Amino acid sequence: MWGQVHQALLESLHRAVFKVATLLPGVLALIVALVVSIFIGWLLAAILRRILLALHFDTRVEQSGLANISDWSSAKTPTFLATRIVFWLTVVAGLFVGVAAFDASLASGLSANVVTYISKIVAAVVLLIVGIIVARFLSRSVLINGVNMNLEHARLLSLGAKWLVLVFTAAMIFDHLGIARVIVDLGFGILFGGIVLALALAVGLGSRDLVSRSLERDRHKTSTEEDVVRHF
Amino acid sequence: MAELEALQESKQESLEIGPTDLLLAIPAPLRSELLTPAIQKVLQACKLLSSPCQVVLALPGENTQDAPAELALNNNDLASQPSLRYVNYPLQAPVPGIIPWLPSSTTYRELARLATTLQVRACTVLGADIGFSRDSLTPEKLTLLIDPGIGGSFDLVMPLYTSQAFDDLVNKSILYPLTRSLYGHRVQNPLGTEFQMSSKMFPLLTGNTARDSSQQQGRLPWLATLAAGRNLKICQAQLGARRPSSAEGIELSDALAQLTGPLFLDMEDNAAFWQRIRGSHDAPIFGVASTSTEATDTVDVRHMVEAFQLGERNLREFWALILPPVTLLELKKLSRLSPDEFHMPDTLWARIIYDFALAHRLRNIHRTHLFGALTPLYLGWVASYAVEINQSGIAAAQQRVEQLARTYESEKPYLLSRWRWPDRFHP
């Protein structure tokens, strides 16, 4: 009997060792893939960093009004952020290659889903950039035109316009990524409607006297200065 | 009623018109009751020219062979031009939001093309108000506009008007002193819409050269700077008083963009030329200006000072993208002055305009926002100007403008330094 138990234990141990031995090449392939991807990621990041520094990428981003992106992340400069993104994307790609060494069917299914989602993330990033640019442009336009119309609270209107566009952009991004769609739709509707209502009340009721004084001042200016001062 | 002979423009055949010296154009459709007195005035001027010349009228409209029935000229009118001819040219419809009296570049290009086809010696463009509101524009004064070019001495004759102290302030504060400083010609109305150009100017407007064709597309040409850049001869003709143009519906920032934007674009195109120019010289003046000793009107500057102060509070971050720290500090000090003490030094104003011209070139901010940000600064200058010359005479106002123009010239090294090395730190 003890012989049979001994035999069974030896067989199970043999199967376990065999299983581990089967997995070892996969693990080794994963480690190699990771190391290679880390090296390639580091190389790509270094090349990208040189290119972006030569193109004065940080200055251009700052001038275009996208500097806020770097404020949100832990990166210090847009160049650093871009190089880190490239590095980690390469490492993740290497990880997927390594996972494929374990089980091809598992890896292919996982890869397909991830690739689809990555394309959505790229589109979301583009939406974010466009939204920030539009928000900054609109806020500047509202501010400058408000100042030229002698509105005292031009800055408030400008801020409202900027955040309206940013909230709208955020809602579009979450909807596109499929993150908590119902909550986002509801929340966006409430928030957007609330901002618009607040602005309308501020201008219509709260700033009624101020707006009427501004318009009165403008009308009075027009009637007295127009007869004398001719700019062109 | 004399019959007019229509000219048919043909690209395949040369026009059977005989020798023609002058093309006279009125770049706006006139009603019949205004067209006749306008043409009568022109014909009387033609009689007074130093040498007789054959004239062709260019009137806006469809290309037809029918004479305008409303044109009622008698034999006395046609004494100097018994075979007066006319030709139509397409006139672009006015665009809402654009200054109505500013002709489009397309109009000028069409006239120059027409003048080239007709092989005239000179082309005179008259304002649309010639017929009715310009009693001061006599045939004698029209002759001053037409004669210098026909005689062959000058390539461009620009108008010179008798203006009040508070007329045409954009021209007095920016256009005239800037073009004088850049191109060295003291042409007081560089954007004049009444002028005469010789045949040497026609290729510059039709875009016969590859360089000019791309630049002139859609942009109002600055004739004075075009002529100065090619070392052509420029003079001015005293045309008396002119009724101020209607500004209704035009925002000040839009007007600044339409008037100053093309000049800033010209600066970029002609940078190699104006950087070599030092000082300025007079453009000869034909005719005598009428003098007035009456005091100027009094302007209440409070609203303009408040507009400037509002701009300083809210637009500082935009100005910081354009102006150096010292200028921003000066503006901050200026915003604390009361309306009675408000004074913007000429040096400060000249440097502001130069910095905005540079920002226009570098595209630090969107160009529409650039002129919007300039508007409160311009109102500050107007307020300062009004404080200085309130209740002074027109002569004092003219001296003030001359002083500003000289300051622009003296500050030109600042512009050169910033233009050539925009990344260099300027306190």
For chain B, domain boundaries: 5-286, 302-420
| Residue A229 to residue B318, Cβ atoms within 8 A | no
Which residues of chain B does A147 touch, with a Cβ-Cβ cutoff of 8 Å? 307, 310-311, 314-315, 372, 376
CA distance A226 to A218: 11
pLDDT tens per residue, range B376-423: 999 999 999 999 887 677 888 889 999 999 999 999 999 999 999 887
Beta carbons of A228 and B297 less than 8 Å apart? yes
Distant-in-sequence, close-in-space partners of B44: CB < 8 Å, separation ≥ 6: B77, B139, B142
At B351, list the tokens. Answer: 């440097």
Token pair, residue A22, equals 């089967």
CA nearest neighbour of B104 among B118, B89, B117: B89
> So what's the pLDDT on residue B296?
61
- Asked whether the beta carbons of residue B167 and residue A143 sit closer than 8 angstroms, the reply is no
Share of chain B above pLDDT 90, in %: 31
Lowest mean pLDDT among B82-86, B245-249, B291-295, B349-353: B291-295
Taking contacts as CB-CB distances below 8 angstroms, the residues of chain A near B244 are 230
Please list every residue in chain B whose beta carbon sits closer than 8 Å to the beta carbon of residue A229: 166, 169, 299, 382, 386
CA distances from B123 to B78, B110, B111, B180, B314 (A): 20, 12, 8, 24, 48
Least Cα separation, residue B213 to chain A (angstroms) = 28
The torsion of the CA quartet B175, B181, B185, B190, rounded to 10 degrees, works out to -10
Which residues of A touch chain B, with CB atoms under 8 Å apart?
63, 137, 140-141, 143-148, 150, 152, 154-155, 217, 220-221, 224-226, 228-232
The CA-CA-CA angle for residues A91, A97, A99, to 5°, reads: 105
Angle formed by the axes of helices A154-177 and A104-148, nearest 10°: 160
The stretch B345-373 carries a mean pLDDT of 93
Do the beta carbons of residue A78 and residue A10 sit within 8 Å? no
What are the Cα distances from residue B126, in Å, to A184, B78, B83, B195, B216?
64, 19, 21, 7, 21
* Closest to B82 (Cα-Cα) out of B109, B43, B45: B43
Q: What is the pLDDT of residue B379?
A: 95
Interface residues of B toward A, Cβ cutoff 8 Å, are 99, 166-171, 244-245, 247, 251-253, 255, 259, 297-300, 303-304, 306-307, 310-311, 314-315, 318, 364-366, 368-369, 372-373, 375-376, 382, 386
Contact check, Cβ <8 Å, A140/B365: yes
The confidence score (pLDDT) of residue B417 equals: 93
**Which pLDDT tens digits describe chain A residue by residue (232 residues)?**
888 899 999 999 988 888 888 778 888 888 888 899 999 999 999 999 999 989 888 877 766 655 554 454 444 678 888 888 889 888 888 887 787 766 655 556 666 677 677 788 888 989 998 999 999 999 999 999 999 988 888 898 899 899 889 988 998 898 888 888 888 888 888 888 887 888 788 777 766 676 676 667 666 554 455 567 888 7
Burial letters for B46-85: b for 16+ Cβ neighbours within 10 Å, e otherwise? beebeeebbbbbbbbeeeeeeebeebebeeebbebbeebb
- Return the H-helix or E-strand segment holding A137: helix A104-148
Higher pLDDT, B188 or B150: B188
Confidence of residue B11 (pLDDT cuts 50, 70, 90): very low
- pLDDT of amino acid B215: 45
Residue entry with tokens 């023609």: B20
Q: Cα–Cα distance between B145 and A212 in angstroms, integer?
A: 50
Distance in Å from the first CA to the final CA of chain B: 72
The domain A113-227 having CATH identifier 1.10.287: the answer here is: yes
Residue B98 above 70 pLDDT? no
Residue with tokens 């004084």: A213
Confidence of residue B12 (pLDDT cuts 50, 70, 90): very low
Mean local confidence (pLDDT), B284-288: 86
Whether residue B67 is predicted with pLDDT greater than 50 in this model: the reply is no
Q: Which residues of B touch A143 (CB under 8 A)?
A: 314-315
B84 pLDDT band, cuts 50/70/90, is low
pLDDT band at B97 (very low <50, low <70, confident <90, very high): low
Q: What is the 3-state secondary structure (H, E, C) of chain B?
A: CCCCEECCCCCCCCCCCCCCCEEEECCCCCCHHHHHHHHHHHHHHHHCCCCCCCEEEEEECCCCCCCCCCCCCCCCHHHCCCCCEEEEECCCCCCCCCCCCCCCHHHHHHHHHHHHHHCCCEEEECCHHHCCCCCCCCHHHHHHHHHHHHCCCCCEEEEEEECCCCCCHHHHHHHHHHHHHHHCEECCCCCCCCEEEECCCHHHHHCCCHHHHHHHCCCCCCHHHHHHHCCCCEEEEEEEECCCCCCCCCCHHHHHHHHHHHHHHHHHHCHHHHCCCCCCEECCEECCCCCCCCECCCCCCHHHHHHHHHHHHHCHHHHHHHCCHHHHHHHHHHHCCCHHHCCCCHHHHHHHHHHHHHHHHHCCCCHHHHHHHHHHHHHHHHHHHHHHHCCCEHHHHHHHHHHHHHHHHHCHHHHHHHHHCCCCCCC
The b/e string for B232-247 (b: 16+ C-beta within 10 A; e otherwise) is: bbbbbbbbbbbeebeb
**pLDDT for res A111:** 64
Contact call for A232 and B310, based on CB within 8 A: no
What are the strands of the beta sheet with B5-6, ordered from one edge? B5-6, B85-89, B55-60, B22-25, B122-125, B195-198, B156-162, B234-241, B285-286
Strand partners, B85: B5, B56
In angstroms, the separation between the Cα of residue B169 and the nearest Cα of chain A is 5
Q: Give the model's confidence band at B65: pLDDT under 50 very low, under 70 low, under 90 confident, else very high.
A: very low
ipTM, 2 decimals? Answer: 0.79
* Residue A12 structure tokens: 């199970």
- Beta strand pairing status for B195-198 and B156-162? antiparallel
Q: Which CATH class is domain B5-286?
A: alpha beta
Q: CB contacts < 8 Å between A and B, how many? A: 85
* CB proximity list for A167: less than 8 A, separation 6 or greater: A188, A191, A192, A195
pLDDT-wise least confident of A207-216, B140-149, B152-161: A207-216
The candidate with the shortest Cα–Cα distance to B189, out of B283, B289, B297, B287, is B283
More confident residue, B90 or B160: B160
> Is the model more confident about A183 or about B326?
B326
Q: Which of B169, B298, B306 sits opposite A231 (nearest CB)?
A: B169
Who has greater pLDDT, B339 or B66? B339
Mean pLDDT across B262-279:
91
Looking at residue B82, its pLDDT comes to 58
What residues of chain A lie within 8 A of the CB of B169, using their CB? 229-232
Which pLDDT belongs to residue B416?
Answer: 94
Note the pLDDT of residue B101: 67
With a CB cutoff of 8 Å and minimum separation 6, the contacts of A147 are A154, B307, B310, B311, B314, B315, B372, B376
**Residue among A143, A217, A221 minimizing CB distance to B314:** A143
State chain B's mean pLDDT as an integer: 80
Which residue of chain A is at minimal alpha-carbon distance from B370? A144
* Domain locations in chain A as residue ranges: 1-102, 113-227
Eight-state DSSP code of residue A41:
H
**Residue B35, both tokens:** 């067209």
A chain contacts of residue B394, beta-carbon cutoff 8 Å: none
Q: Tell me the C-alpha distance between B410 and B399, whole Å.
A: 16
pLDDT at residue B319, rounded to an integer: 94
Q: pLDDT: is B115 or B217 the higher one?
A: B115
